Amino acid sequence: MPCLEISMPRVDAETKEKLSDALTKVFDESTKFGAEIFGIRYHEYDIGQSASGGTVWDGRSGRPYLHMLLYIPRIDRATKQMLVEKFSQAFVQVIGKENWVPVIHICEHPYDNVGVEGKLLSDQYDACAKSKFYYDVGDEG
């Protein structure tokens, strides 16, 4: 189901709790999916273990490598725009550093490309099997 992987510098447990809560609220309010199926995984690193523009981040200057990868069934453009904006705002607000805005990649997939509890979602739930993935390409003539 939908999940978010975040690469960022190491932070304390309280910050991760606040960030998890804020990002889950954004997801729940911005999509048709419920908060209970949304997962987050943190990939944290220490100072000196990331680089941007060929410069290793020293923890004092510049911006560290910040990346979010959202795995999700197909969503419309307006929802993508909302998620990118609100995920970024929530991240900056919780972390407290205005220049720490993550790059966000959205990896969409059809339900028959996801396995949960030993079955494809399209086999597990009838509604998923009937869900469309690809946009219709009309004759624009």
Instruction: Print pLDDT tens along the chain (141 aa).
Output: 799 999 999 999 999 999 999 999 999 999 988 899 899 999 999 999 999 889 999 998 888 999 999 999 888 999 999 999 999 999 999 999 998 999 999 999 888 888 888 998 888 877 777 776 654 444 444
Handedness of CA 71, 72, 77, 79 (dihedral sign): negative
List, for residues 16-39, the tens digit of each pLDDT value: 999 999 999 999 999 988 899 899
**3 state SS of 47:** coil
Nearest to 29 by CA among 101, 89, 97: 89
Ramachandran region, residue 62 (left: φ > 0; alpha: ψ -120 to 50; beta: rest)? left
Tell me which fold the domain 3-130 belongs to: Macrophage Migration Inhibitory Factor (3.30.429)
pTM: 0.86
Instruction: Please tell me the distance from the alpha carbon of residue 48 to that of residue 56, in angstroms, as a whole number.
Output: 6
